[in-house]
Amino acid sequence: MKLPSFEPFKTKMVEPIYRSTREEREVWIKDAHFNLFNLRSDYVTIDLLTDSGTGAMSDRQWAALMQGDESYAGASSYYNLKDAIKEITGFNYFLPTHQGRAAENVLFSVLVKEGDLVPGNSHFDTTKGHIEFRKAEAVDCTIDIAYDFKARHPFKGNVDLNKLEEVLKKNPREKISCIIVTITNNTAGGQPVSMANLKGVRQLADRYGVKFILDSARFAENAWFIKTREEGYANREIREIVLEMFSYADGMTMSSKKDAIVNMGGFIGFRDEDLFQKASMFNIIFEGFITYGGMSGRDMNALARGLYEGTDFEYLSSRIRQVGLLGARMKDYGIPVLEPFGGHAIFIDALDFLRSVPKEEFPAQILAVEIYIEGGIRGTEIGTLMADRDPVTRENRFTGRELVRLAVPRRVYSDNHMDYVAAVAKNVFDRKESIKRGLRIIKEAPILRHFTVELEKL
């Protein structure tokens, strides 16, 4: 018989999970003002808030930590990381940063100015935050089919090249900071972008003379989807695919907390020395000297190692299979989930799940709260709360998308945990008719409000 596949690692250290009661959780979530970010993590049974910085490092990465060189300038750890970035991404120049949004802050300090446009595929919220903070505009050029949750498309994260060209054609070149393509497209449901699409974006970038940057947090998962879904790539190695993806871009921002499987870290990769030089000044102001920028030597060592482990085909297959297992279980229970399943997370369609909660009452947030109360699972809202208010009108932005994201940390949970999560969601699904009202905001920040917002039940 064909042998089943299995995770290419075994467990050396474990961490206990506290099993709380429903009564405890009802009190805790009320005290947290119905914002799951305000919960203490020991009040959470299975934490699917994010796959960012929550992965388990390997024994090799922990060993690399011990060899960290903490010199202020020119540390060997910096050169280890430089070599790994060159080998994995092909970029000659890089700047370390403490995480992905710091990479955005440094790079956008050079590229983005007031009144600019930054076209791309559903920019991540910190990316959009950094653009709007500079009074520029993130223009979403994602393909329309991405917003049809049931539509089958192998690369639902793609950029609509016609929409992108319209933006480039209608506006002077100086007004376009750069094009940003996010791989995989987190906001659209962890959906991949095809190689053909990246090539198409490169051609438009060349035709209109603008820079093309990859927001690369989940670049390895994107490469896995290209290998398994795109014609001509089945026999190519993940690392070859990764090199080709990056070959189309002028630079990259990286949140290393995702596909490089470290708990903290980021970097910017550059093809061009000039842009690297300009960004270096901002790196020194915001992050630290250019050979450590926000990272300790040991962390750079662990990251260098993580770039190799995160691009291993067997590892990626087991990870994406596990996310798919969670999706398949929930689908079997009749729960409306976004398909095809994403690389790092399963997204529940809250508008379909909770049909009587009005859109003004944050249906995805109340669903996330109910799932927490039911079984201690922490997911996140990707809906009106996260979409923030329109910067000009200050009205809520209703994007038509009300999702609960269940993001799976790397190498942390077992398939049994996934079965538990699906069963909890099913129990909420069975009592969905009883959930008729949502939440009301009592306190919010002007930007990125979902992190700190306080709500009350209606």
Asked if 435 and 458 count as a contact pair (C-beta separation under 8 A), the reply is: no
Binding site for ligand F0G (CB under 6 A): 50, 52, 99-101, 124, 126-127, 182, 186, 215, 217, 255, 257, 266
CA distance 11 to 66: 20
CA distance 177 to 127: 13
Catalytic-residue membership of 6 = no
- Residue whose CB is less far from ligand F0G, 340 or 342: 342
Task: Report CA Rg, the chain.
Answer: 21
Q: Which residue in the shown chain puts its C-beta closest to ligand F0G?
A: 100
Catalytic-residue membership of 215 = yes
- Residue whose CB is less far from ligand F0G, 183 or 195: 183
Catalytic residue among 43, 124, 270, 413: 124
In the block, residue with structure tokens 């709260």: 369
Sign of CA dihedral 399, 147, 344, 357: positive
Letter string b/e over residues 399-412, b meaning 16 or more CB atoms within 10 A of that residue's CB: bebbbbbbbbbbbe
- Residue whose CB is less far from ligand F0G, 350 or 435: 350
- Residue whose CB is less far from ligand F0G, 124 or 372: 124
CA distance 34 to 454: 7
In the block, residue with structure tokens 């690692």: 9
- Residue whose CB is less far from ligand F0G, 168 or 217: 217
Cα-Cα-Cα-Cα torsion 317, 248, 281, 391, nearest 10 degrees, comes to -80
Q: What residue spans of 177-237 are helical by DSSP H? A: 195-208, 219-229
Tokens found for residue 357: 């909660």
Catalytic-residue membership of 144 = no
CA distance 226 to 154: 9
Catalytic-residue membership of 282 = no
Catalytic-residue membership of 124 = yes
- 385-to-137, 338, 380, 396, 441 alpha-carbon distances in Å: 19, 19, 10, 8, 9
- Residue whose CB is less far from ligand F0G, 106 or 435: 106
Tokens found for residue 179: 């094009």
- Residue whose CB is less far from ligand F0G, 300 or 357: 300
| Shortest distance in whole angstroms from residue 257 CB to ligand F0G | 5
Catalytic residue among 217, 249, 364, 387: 217
- DSSP letter at 441? E
Bridge partners of 137? 117
| Shortest distance in whole angstroms from residue 174 CB to ligand F0G | 26
| Shortest distance in whole angstroms from residue 387 CB to ligand F0G | 15
CA distance 50 to 396: 24
Asked if 300 and 68 count as a contact pair (C-beta separation under 8 A), the reply is: yes
CA distance 186 to 180: 13
Catalytic-residue membership of 64 = no
- Residue whose CB is less far from ligand F0G, 191 or 435: 191
Sheet of 345-349, strand order: 345-349, 403-407, 380-382
Cα-Cα-Cα-Cα torsion 253, 255, 259, 263, nearest 10 degrees, comes to 160
Sign of CA dihedral 330, 22, 409, 457: positive
Catalytic-residue membership of 352 = no
| Shortest distance in whole angstroms from residue 384 CB to ligand F0G | 17
Q: Tell whether omega for the bond before 11 is within 30 degrees of 0, i.e. cis.
A: no
CA distance 427 to 284: 51
- Residue whose CB is less far from ligand F0G, 107 or 110: 107
| Shortest distance in whole angstroms from residue 300 CB to ligand F0G | 15
**Catalytic annotation, residues:** 72, 124-125, 215, 217, 258, 450
